[in-house]
Every structure is written in C-alpha cells, then in structure tokens.
Amino acid sequence: MTKKGIMIIGHGSRYEYNKNTLELQADRLTAAGFENVYIGFNETSHPFIEETLTKMVDDGIEEITAIPFFIASGLHITRDIPPKLRLKADEKDATVDVDGKKIIMHFGTPFGEDPLLAELLHENIQGLDSKKGKTGIMVIGHGSRLPYNKDIIILNSERLSKMGHNDVYYAFNEFNEPKIETVLDEMVGKGLDEIIVLPLFISLGDHLKNDVPEKINLRDGVFDGEFDHDGRKITVKYSLPIGRDPRLTDLLAKKIRAYEG
C-alpha cells in the first residue's frame, strides 16, 4: 500500500505567528485522524519546503498532498513553490523525482474563494461593531503583482455587502490600489463614526504589526483606538487575522480528502 503524507505550506515570517498557526492547524489535522502531517515554508521560517520534502521521502512517504495555507494565489504559488515540490509551473498532479525516488505529488489551491472566509469576517464584524453611530468596514489584503489577491479581496467584500453590511470597502497594503490610507480618508469623508478593519491574512506578521497600524491611525499592539478629524472622534477597530480558526482545519481536511477519492 502506498504510504501517503500531507504537507501544509505556509508563507513564512521573521515572526513566529505564521509558524505557530501552521503548527496549530497541523496538530488539529493529526488529532482529527490524518496521518503523516508535515509543515513547510516558502521562505524565512524553517523547515523550508525542500527540507520537509526530503524529510517526508526519508520517512518513506510515496504520495504527497501539498496544500498551500494561503488566502490567494500569487507569485509564490505560481512561480516559487512548484519547483520546490519538483513540479513544473503549471502542474498540479504529477510523478516527481526526489533524490532518485519517484513520488506522486498533488498541489492544492488556496482557499480564499470558499464562502467560509466571508462568514469568518462577518462574525468578526458582529463581535466588534458597537452599533453606536455609523459603521463602515474595510477589508484589507496584502496585494500582489498578479490579480489573484485583489480578486479574492473584492469577492469577499462583495459577499459581506450581500450579507447586509453597509459601507464595505476594500484596500491593499502594497502593489494594488486602492491603498489603505486612501480608503481610510474616503471613509472618514463619508462621515463614518466607526471603522472596522478586517485583514484577510493568515496570521500576524511584519505587515499587520508594523505597516498597517500606522496607516489606520493605531499604535503597534493596539487593536482599538480613536483619532480626531475636523473636531469629531472616529473609532478604529482592528481585527485579528483568520488563520487560527478551527473551521479552517475542516476546510483543509476537505481539500485533503478530495485527493483520497
């Protein structure tokens, strides 16, 4: 019988949040009965994808399901990760050579299109909305030179609007327009009293800790604050990223099981 294994792939970060999130999700999969669950990172964090691949093959794994724990596709998914899995750029399922051994490789897709993400954002809004005054929502994405991240952020923003939320905006930290600062100014100009900022990110990291707070008039480490604009107080509430939610474990499990049929 073919020995199968699972690799959950993360972005990697100089902070521990991304690694801790992947370790948590891998532990949950193991507790749910999945065997041979490993993690690997595209950059910065160890083990790197290549290190995990070698470890899995050394452990006798003959078939690997590699699932990117990413919100959206982009250069990492399309350009960087496939060769690290010994895949060609456009391959999703192939037999690859790893240290002279033939391994069946499956490369999954990010999960940003799943309706669950809008549900998670919706719940965050409900938990943060004081319902005092006029509230607006800003969904923020990382941004990418490719269109995928922007498409996913727009999709989830539109889903929130269809759920009945008013004044839903989207913005990006880098690469794409509109920028966070531009959207904040627009929302303030519309007379909103409370702005809920929802990062559609996997985990805290350099961008969410160091870039975004300043752009939304918050200090590092502060998730709820006020600033003055033309004599009125505007409240900003900054949500945590979504990657630790246990329902994402279920989503990972669904993606893995799709390869077992």
Query: Which pLDDT value is given to residue 81?
Result: 98
**160-213 tens-digit pLDDT:** 999 999 999 999 999 999 999 999 999 999 999 999 999 999 999 999 999 999
Residue 242 vs residues 40, 111, 115, 144, 258: alpha-carbon distances, Å: 19, 12, 13, 19, 23
What CATH number is given to the structural domain containing 147?
3.40.50.1400
Q: How many domains does the chain have?
A: 2
Is 247 domain-assigned? Answer: no
Same domain, 148 and 209: yes
Has residue 78 got a pLDDT over 90?
Answer: yes
Same domain, 129 and 230: yes
Label residue 261 by pLDDT band (50, 70, 90).
low
Q: Is 142 a catalytic residue?
A: no
**Residue 137 to residue 48: CA distance in whole angstroms:** 36
Name the average pLDDT for the chain. Answer: 96
Reported pTM = 0.95
**93-116 tens-digit pLDDT:** 999 999 999 999 999 999 999 999
Catalytic residue among 11, 106, 122, 165: 11
Average pLDDT over residues 74-90: 96
Average pLDDT over residues 78-101: 96
**211-245 tens-digit pLDDT:** 999 999 998 788 999 999 989 999 999 999 999 99
